[in-house]
Chains A and B, each alone.
Chain A
């Protein structure tokens, strides 16, 4: 008999375990980890709320976490401005000003996890606005969660083209760069130099690589540039002998590469070893950070061109912080180590836009917040931003070059900005003396 009872007990326990687990989760117990976890009491109506909750599903670990470097610094700066200097944001149903709090969730740079953590932010933490960032892996799954649960979503840091693949969006908004504009300014850089106009593609098969291949091919058609495409390379290639000799044989003066940092570092080193250093090397994705450029062997970083997504020479300022781009970058460099990362611009612009939208909405009603974000029309660190019919606000991607600097080993110079003429491109573009073929 004891045998039977044990079995029954286990059967019931097993079902109870599942049911309990599910309803415990349903109760939102354990919310922030430290909260006392009164299970079964989700924060009910928004009128009871004593804060505005922004859920940031961010790549805090894994390959994409490189973008997150300045995020805590910017958060402290901006939340101080919003909560302490301005005293919060007036919300009608709360009858007063509420502070903003940002709750983070780690996507681990993985689109599967991104969806899981964003769902948790929306359904358990019940965030008022969901934020997702950096590359399609960071923006597309988060946007999908917003569409599914009908929560306003703000995403940034991906190509507009690939973000829109997940649309048409209703609840998701994006602050993205546009690949057509990016490539246009890259070509503008090449135009300024004396080359044989042969362009070699070193593109991977990722979103940036495939989009870049399509856009460059379209934009260069009918010009006197000649394209040489040796075929896409696979991420994680360790030896580029074949690729380099093809580029060398094709006599390309220009190469445009879309490579992650380790791949480009190996590729560029092997280019030097095989005596092939083209006059112009435009590298996207891999060489956004000064430390990476400094890491390249034998002064290889000198003169590398790339398309920068934010620069301290942007003649704009943040309305929330009251600081110009130059001041923000200087503040970063004085309080942190190293050259300012461009992702500061995106982080600051996010707070600019969300603060402005919530201030106008004066409510946490989801539809009203969504509409307020879409109605945005403010001057930010990217200049004036508005959202188009695809719910996307376009930010600049302009041509820049790494050249030896005074304060740091390399500094970034703006050399082409035809797509955003408001940004001055005063520095001349240079063919570095190390070029050899």
Chain B
């Protein structure tokens, strides 16, 4: 029974982190219908930036993160403005190939610059347990991941709902033609959306870098997690992504609890497929494209 409680708690906490990994993807997914294969690799790029800046330049994780956020937003704006915007209206396949290309370039350039060895970002919370009882143990790291993820998702949700920027992004998402007629520059809205996605991706990169560590080519393995939580949540729905994260985290850990650690990852995927078969547009898809 203790183990069951622990499993559920750990599943929820790790699920929060999954949501942080996925939310940027959900944004670009919902807003421009882009299957961004480069999301995982760009997230790992942010991990490398944080690691590099905190070790070589600033000495602290917070300032390193701020620097990273600025650079990643710039990278997001450049890739969207110069590359993706130009192929987006040619159908999804061209954009798919561009993001594939970006992913391949990102991970191989990272390997060239930083080498192939395993990296991690040191976390002051790693060795502290914030809850330590007979029923449940929660490490500071998991707790921080969870709180940061949830706070970030809520902030993003409010931003999209309440601000002017959020309105123009939503307008571009729901009807391109109408939005343009009403004076919204959809291409620019796409750039903002990609910048936002990169900012959340950078946070995801920091948390992943502290919790799991990373290689230059880790992007693809996080990408499938990101895709999973986004599609079961419903693309474009930020709260859906959070729920999707919880579901995937819980499914994996409960899978291990009931059927053994060997099938942990497999049960996660099967849960995603079952939910998708029952709800083919995700649980909370309120944004419909075209």
| A contact residues vs B (CB 8 Å cutoff) | 61-63, 65-66, 68-69, 205, 230-234, 236-243, 245-246, 261-262, 265-266, 269-270, 272-275, 289, 291-292, 295, 297-298
Contact = CB atoms under 8 A, between A and B. Distances in A.
B256 A265 contact: no
Interface of B: 3, 6-7, 10-11, 14, 108, 111, 115-118, 120, 122-123, 126-127, 129, 137, 139, 211-215, 217-218, 221, 249, 252-253, 256-257, 260-266
B288 to A, nearest CB: 32
13 contacts: A66-B116, A68-B116, A205-B262, A239-B14, A241-B253, A242-B260, A262-B212, A262-B213, A262-B215, A273-B129, A292-B118, A297-B122, A298-B127
Nearest to B17: A238
Contacts of A270: 139
B115 to A, nearest CB: 8
Given A238-B212, A242-B261, A62 B116 contact: yes
B212 A266 contact: yes
Given A230-B260, A236-B265, A262-B218, A65 B116 contact: yes
B117 A237 contact: no
Given A239-B252, A242-B253, A61 B126 contact: no
Given A233-B262, A239-B253, A272-B127, A266 B211 contact: yes
A388 B3 CA distance: 51
B213 A243 contact: no
Contacts of B115: 69
Contacts of A297: 122-123, 126-127
A241 to B, nearest CB: 4
B113 to A, nearest CB: 12
A265 B264 contact: no
A272 B6 CA distance: 15
B117 A291 contact: yes
Nearest to A274: B137
A66 B253 CA distance: 31
A269 B126 contact: yes
Given A63-B217, A262-B215, A245 B116 contact: no
Contact of B6 (A241, A295, A298): A241
B118 A233 contact: no
A289 B212 contact: no
A205 B7 CA distance: 24
B17 to A, nearest CB: 8
A115 B92 CA distance: 32
B205 to A, nearest CB: 15
A39 B123 CA distance: 57
Given A241-B256, A295-B118, A298-B127, A273 B261 contact: no
Q: What 5 pairs across the A-B complex have the smallest Cβ distances?
A: A242-B256, A65-B116, A261-B118, A243-B261, A231-B262
A233 B217 contact: no
Nearest to B128: A273
A274 B141 CA distance: 13
Contacts of A69: 115-117
Contact of B257 (A232, A238, A242, A298): A242
Contact of B108 (A61, A205, A238, A275): A61
Contact of B215 (A63, A68, A230, A266): A63
B211 to A, nearest CB: 7
A241 B10 contact: yes
A68 B118 CA distance: 14
A197 to B, nearest CB: 23
B50 to A, nearest CB: 15
| Most B Cβ at <10 Å: residue of A233, A242, A243, A266 | A242
A62 B14 CA distance: 27
B261 A240 contact: yes
B266 A266 contact: no
Contact of B139 (A63, A232, A262, A273): A273
